[in-house]
Structure 1
Amino acid sequence: MDTEPIVPPRTAGARPPRGLLTLWGVEMWERFSFYGMRAILVLFLAAPAESRGLGLAPHIAAAVFGMYGALVNLLALPGGWLADRLWGSYRAVVWGGVVIAAGHAVLAVPGGVAFAYTGLLLVAAGTGLLKPGISTMVGRLYDSEDGVDRTRGEDTARRDAGFSLFYMGISIGAFAAPLITGYLGERINWHAGFGAAAVGMLIGLVICVRGRGRLPDAPRAPVRTAPAADLRRMFLASGAAVVFLAVVFALCVLCGQSAADGVIQSVTLLTIAVPLVYFVVLFRTTGLDPVDRSRLGAYVWIFLAASVFWMIAEQGGSLISLFARDHVDRDLFGWEFPTSWFQSLGPLYSIVLATAFAALWLRLGSRQPSTAAKFSLGLFGLGVATLITAGAAAAADGGRVTPLWLIVAFFVQIMAEMCLSPTGLSVTTRLAPSRFANQIMSLWFLSVAMGSALSAQVVRLTTVWSPATYFAVLATAALLCSAGVALARKRLRHLMRGVT
């Protein structure tokens, strides 16, 4: 006789697990602080000194913005290692939040360049700690859940629903943040906007600490001791990265470049070198069977295509924001709304389109486009969105254009991102050899870092090209990359070895 207790249909599945609302609140406020600061960052960097900005040239301000984006994703690697091997996810999230709040607080002090760059480094380091840990904690809520039938897919359905709710918090925080920090920063004082971002992160920290009892073993998990060999490898890798940055920076300065250019060049080269080393090490691993080796080969092309996408898409928060400041008519019933409010369009479109795209792929089922086709569609959509921006720049011709140009451009860009970004995350998990699952997922985030770093380089072209020419060239690059992925889809399908 079966002696296992019968679980009534209610089970735990009638409501989310304890702790999900806590993590939802933490992530919403953390994203509020992140996107709130990001919405006004390039405007602050490029604002003249009389407006209490740093007075950087537009292409330098955009390059610093790109460097910040690269560091946020690059520092997720050591942050994830600390969470996995030493502190545990809860401590990584808490200390990451403390460092983020400290970074925003430093930015809120009108102390000039030194305070601004110190604050950016602190926010990037704290985000690198918090970002990997909090998603892991969401998954562990479902690992420890009782009363769920895992043999009938109930666990998977509930987990997917939980992550959907979790990411809705991200979108809400990202949508609301520019409306508040943008108004404070542009209409009152830049540092008031950064201060609002600090308050947002502090609220998230309070929610995390007060709700720690609802998180799985969060406050009781002991601090672990990593094996000596792992610690030695981590110290060697960190030391090598620091030496690499110092050498490249010194060479740039000796060649007559400014300190800012030296930082940009050194971080860009490091961001390119890290994934290159990752791929070399993975391919040279002994015992890797031919199928996994072939799938890694396919992932190289996916990584490069994603890097091109992010290189162009990330400029929506930098150069396009500066273009909106100077060349878009922002009059609303006689009142000029802040430039940074355009940064709320992306999250708003994401909230609306995410469910629609998920339903579309489910409806198409086995008839939905392949991974290569979705990547090609994403790059094509990005090319179209950038062409629209080029059209706006041409129509402005030194004057101002209707905001409808950017409203439509951001809508097309988010549609493109819906094709490429979730597909990239999904195919990363499916192409990864089981022994390298976490490392391959790190590579996906490194594609964002590499795209951000490359954007810091290409923005230099704005010093020799008009905005219309610059955006038209970027659009052409995206369309050519889209065509290349489409033409190579059969080859990619062969390399993927059954992963469609």
Structure 2
Amino acid sequence: MASQVGSLYKPDDLRRADAFQIFYLAINAGVIASPLIVGTLGETMGWHWGFGAAGVGMLIGLAIYLWGQKYLPREHFGVAKTTAEPKEPMSRKDWLATAALILLIPVLAVAIVPNNQIFNAYLVWADKDFALYWGGEKLPTTWLITLDAVVSVSFLAIVAGFYRWWKTRWTEPDELTKIIIGSVFSIGGMVCLYMAAATTPPGEKIGLAWPVMFHIVNSIGLAHMLPVSLALFARLAPKQINATVIGLYYLSFFAGNSLVGWVGGWFETMPVTQFWLIHMALATGAGVVFMLFKLLLAPRLMGKAEPEDAALA
């Protein structure tokens, strides 16, 4: 589906990033809705009711997808063409783009560690040290995930709307520039967690001001990175192997979440401030590599076709 979304736009059409932000917005909206429906039914009425509701949801999604076929090119649905077309060979630029995108996968994996640590050591820390109280009652720690999902959905929409407004007045940044901006916000999110730990006296609970600021700043960074990086892969991946390269993109999540677990294991063995400084360093390192990619490789991959490529085309 990600490959289909990306192929709806011409190579230089920056609306592709907007499309993937809407794509991620829908996914994150599901993160909010599904626990409320599926989880509630499963816990209150029975396990099979929860699974049944999930099945109904998938059928609704499939019906919408089939209804939307009229908005997609016919070849997306395996419609045979009347005349066979020769398969265009991979050019030198295509191979360079493929190699560059594969090299970006571990960088993306490092870049998502600060965000995905929300679901690991961050919750352990919050359960232990956050002042999660309302009217004298302790709130469930997992409500922080609900808060993060709500904030993420909000800023996916806000960021997409912001760039639609921006491009009516100025030149819209390309995908790599947006990813670099996202890295800066990711660093800022880690600064918030560092400050939460550094400014709280020993033995006292951490107020929610810094954590809430973290969720806001980090969500702005997330809106600039995940959907936009997927748009970048969809744009640069050669059309001959577009779906395959986008499939490889998701390896960054496998590697990133493996790193989250490995790095999260350090939480119990070091000061909290040092723990979040490490995550700040990871976000900074990934941002530097994205910047180098933009300076050194992007002009060749996103510019005009080279003579050899033009001849092959």
TM-score bucket (shorter structure): 0.7 to 0.9
Question: Does residue 1:374 correspond to 2:224, yes or no?
Answer: no
User: Is the contact made by 1:381 and 1:415 (CA closer than 8 Å) also made in structure 2?
Assistant: yes
Residue-by-residue CA offset, 1:280-302 (whole Å, 9 max, x unaligned): xxxxxx95311112212331343
Structure 2 counterpart of 1:338: 140
Residue-by-residue CA offset, 1:334-358 (whole Å, 9 max, x unaligned): 2211100010122212332222211
Structure 1 counterpart of 2:242: 437
Residue-by-residue CA offset, 1:329-385 (whole Å, 9 max, x unaligned): 011122211100010122212332222211222233372223322222212211111
Tell me the distance in 1 between the aligned counterparts of 2:123 and 2:46.
20
Tell me the distance in 1 between the aligned counterparts of 2:259 and 2:157.
31
Residue pairs, 1:339-358, within 5 angstroms: 339-358=141-160
When residues 215 and 384 of structure 1 are mapped into structure 2, their CA distance, relative to the original with a 3 A threshold, is closer
When residues 321 and 435 of structure 1 are mapped into structure 2, their CA distance, relative to the original with a 3 A threshold, is same
CA shift, 1:312, in A, is: 2.2
1:493 to 270, 293, 298: 298
Question: Does residue 1:467 correspond to 2:266, yes or no?
Answer: no
CA shift, 1:214, in A, is: 7.4
User: Is the contact made by 2:90 and 2:240 (CA closer than 8 Å) also made in structure 1?
Assistant: no
Residue pairs, 1:237-276, within 5 angstroms: none
Higher helix share: 1
Across the two proteins, how many residue pairs are aligned to each other? 271
Tell me the distance in 2 between the aligned counterparts of 1:206 and 1:177.
12
Which range moved further: 385-394 or 170-179? 170-179
Residue pairs, 1:121-136, within 5 angstroms: none
Tell me the distance in 1 between the aligned counterparts of 2:166 and 2:108.
24
CA shift, 1:493, in A, is: 1.5
Unaligned runs of 5+ in 1: 1-131, 144-155, 185-190, 218-285
Tell me the distance in 1 between the aligned counterparts of 2:275 and 2:205.
18
Give the match's secondary structure for 1:288: coil
User: Is the contact made by 2:237 and 2:245 (CA closer than 8 Å) also made in structure 1?
Assistant: yes
CA shift, 1:314, in A, is: 0.9
When residues 452 and 364 of structure 1 are mapped into structure 2, their CA distance, relative to the original with a 3 A threshold, is same
Question: Does residue 1:173 correspond to 2:173, yes or no?
Answer: no
Q: Percent identity?
A: 18
When residues 206 and 404 of structure 1 are mapped into structure 2, their CA distance, relative to the original with a 3 A threshold, is same
TM-score scaled by length of structure 1:
0.48
Give the match's secondary structure for 2:117: helix
Structure 2 counterpart of 1:482: 287
Unaligned runs of 5+ in 2: 9-14, 68-87, 305-313
When residues 169 and 474 of structure 1 are mapped into structure 2, their CA distance, relative to the original with a 3 A threshold, is closer
Residue-by-residue CA offset, 1:71-110 (whole Å, 9 max, x unaligned): xxxxxxxxxxxxxxxxxxxxxxxxxxxxxxxxxxxxxxxx
CA shift, 1:216, in A, is: 3.8
User: Is the contact made by 1:298 and 1:496 (CA closer than 8 Å) also made in structure 2?
Assistant: no
Residue pairs, 1:19-168, within 5 angstroms: 164=22
CA shift, 1:319, in A, is: 0.7
- Greater RCO (CA < 8 Å, at least 6 residues apart): 2
Structure 2 counterpart of 1:362: 164
CA shift, 1:441, in A, is: 0.9
CA shift, 1:471, in A, is: 0.8
Give the match's secondary structure for 1:369: coil
Residue-by-residue CA offset, 1:449-492 (whole Å, 9 max, x unaligned): 11011222222322431121111121122123323432442203
RMSD: 3.7
Structure 2 counterpart of 1:455: 260
2:188 to 374, 384, 407: 384
